[in-house]
Amino acid sequence: MDLEERDPRDANSRRILRRITFWSPVGICMVLFGQVAFLGLRPAWCERRRLIEAEAMMEARHARDLDLRAEIQRSLRARNDPIFLERQRRMRLHAPLLAQR
């Protein structure tokens, strides 16, 4: 007599155990993929999206700051130029005369 013929419950349990053992790598991989997908990738994608938006804001702010810096440098150069200072002084002297006309 074969073992399967002696106890059908034992044969069923062995068959189930073999199937579980056969499919366990697939199940383990699915569990790991689910964990990475829901606990690892989603937060990473959200963080990536947030960082991309923050990068765009920082680039705009940096461009504005560079423009402001260039404007300040032009103004400082002009204030140190004696010709510009003389023109400013003459404009202040003649502005009241032009306003009276």
Average pLDDT of the segment spanning 30-47: 86
Residue 18 scores a pLDDT above 80: yes
pLDDT value, residue 1 = 44
CB-CB neighbours of 14 under 10 Å: 13
| pTM attached to this predicted model | 0.49
Model confidence band, residue 11 (pLDDT cutoffs 50, 70, 90):
confident
pLDDT band for 38, please (50, 70, 90 cuts).
Answer: confident
The length of the chain is: 101
Mean pLDDT calculated for residue range 22-40: 90
Structure token pair of residue 78: 């002009």
| Residue 7 region by backbone torsions, left for phi larger than 0, else alpha for psi between -120 and 50, else beta | beta
**53-64 residues labelled b (16+ CB within 10 A) or e (exposed):** eeeeeeeeeeee
Q: Which amino acid is at 35?
A: Q
Assigned token pair, 4: 């399967």
Q: What is the pLDDT of residues 55-71, one digit of tens each?
A: 999 999 999 999 999 99
Q: If pLDDT is split at 50, 70 and 90, which confidence band does 6 have?
A: low
7 CA to centre of own chain? 63
Which amino acid is it at 31?
Answer: V
